[in-house]
Amino acid sequence: MSSLVYCIHYKEGCKWTDELRKLQGHLNTCKYDAVPCTNQCAAMIPRVLMEDHLFYTCPKRRTRCEFCNKEFTGEMLEGHVGSCQYEPVFCENKCGFKIHRRFVTNHRMNECAKRLVACRYCQKEFVYDTLQNHTAKCPRYPLPCPNRCEQSKIPREDMESHLKEECPSVSLNCMFRDMGCKFKGPRFALEQHMEESTNSHLILTSDLVSRQQHQISTLQNALQNLTLNTSGVLIWKIADYAQKMAEAKSKEGYELCSAPFNTSQYGYKLMATLFLNGNGAGEGSHMSVYIRILPGEYDSLLTWPFSHTVSFTLYDQVVSQEKPCNIVESFVPDPSWKNFQRPSKEPDSLGFGFPRFVSHENLKKQSYIKDDTIFIKVQVDSSKIVTV
């Protein structure tokens, strides 16, 4: 009794078992034993797989490319697959197209919707299917001039400056329009108009200036009325006294005028004037003060002649505690004086007051001048003024 052995291909699935001396003989037919490929590709192939090998994987097998139908050996086909010109492939630009490999280059260059093309107007590159969108707003896209001038095609981005600066057909306003010039015409005519109309433009300009001047003085009056002192009391501060006094001494008739003030909101309009170096009887020795009645807004409603007591006070600017020694002068207007009649529109130079208000000598006393400044109060006794 000799012992039994299994086939060496037991693990692959051969169920053969017999005496050892019969194994070699079995292997000559064992389905699982490898033999050289019958096509001489040099591979060792188990008999059971040989048919598959010869048909599908043997590099020496004869086969055809499924796309171009040419005959190849298995190993040649491997090299052919991936370059077969008849294989349908998707376009690499992801346009969705599937075409024979041999047409791909032409497609990518000339047909693909996703190919890059240069805009023929601005030369920038765009994906083909966005080009139309781009053209609709391409800055270099040529447009006809809306004025139909001879410059027929103007790039979109240059149109504005063409119309503004170049177009010979655009109708332009004369640049003196705001001054009242009505001219309007094409550029060449405007240039000629400008040359020919210097004079009339100058007249228009000067008219405008005088209109504006009138407006300015109206505004100034309105402003002055808004800020007008209507208390009937003026405290007049005269700073830089020394310098003004020196000027008064060197210039004959040097007169300082106060801001105008009203005796009440709708009252008389007055102004004080001051001759530092004196005037009339006080010339050279005294400081003279006057009051002048100015043409006012409400003169027609007021009683004439002006008949209210006016007082002038020069302040003694003493330090506190000491009793100030102010200089006060006042007068009741004489109704027969022309100065107190209703003033005409032309303000006259006549005033009324005190040519010898205070002598230069007295001015130096007390503290009338302090910090190079004097203060004069002008007060109208309003008790008798009937307000309108």
Binding site residues, Zn ion, CB under 5 A: 7, 9, 14, 16, 30, 37, 39, 41, 43, 58, 65, 67-68, 84, 91, 93, 95, 97, 112, 119, 121-122, 138, 145, 147, 149, 167, 174, 176, 181, 183, 197
How many C-beta neighbours within 10 Å does residue 309 have?
14
- The distance of closest approach from Cβ of residue 4 to Zn ion in the complex, given in angstroms and rounded to an integer, is 14
Residues facing 225 on adjacent strands:
none
- The distance of closest approach from Cβ of residue 193 to Zn ion in the complex, given in angstroms and rounded to an integer, is 6
Smaller CB distance to Zn ion: residue 182 or 364?
A: 182
Smaller CB distance to Zn ion: residue 91 or 376?
A: 91
Instruction: Outline where 251-379 has alpha helix (H).
Output: 360-363
- Cis amide leading into 347 (omega within 30): no
10 Å CB burial of residue 155 (0-12, 13-18, 19+) is middle
- The distance of closest approach from Cβ of residue 21 to Zn ion in the complex, given in angstroms and rounded to an integer, is 15
Smaller CB distance to Zn ion: residue 93 or 313?
A: 93
- The distance of closest approach from Cβ of residue 213 to Zn ion in the complex, given in angstroms and rounded to an integer, is 22
Smaller CB distance to Zn ion: residue 30 or 245?
A: 30
- Give the Cα separation of 354 and 274 in Å (integer): 10
- The distance of closest approach from Cβ of residue 206 to Zn ion in the complex, given in angstroms and rounded to an integer, is 14
10 Å CB burial of residue 278 (0-12, 13-18, 19+) is buried
Smaller CB distance to Zn ion: residue 204 or 376?
A: 204
- The distance of closest approach from Cβ of residue 44 to Zn ion in the complex, given in angstroms and rounded to an integer, is 10
Smaller CB distance to Zn ion: residue 116 or 242?
A: 116
10 Å CB burial of residue 72 (0-12, 13-18, 19+) is middle
Instruction: Outline where the chain has alpha helix (H).
Output: 23-27, 47-52, 74-80, 104-106, 131-135, 159-161, 187-196, 198-227, 241-250, 360-363
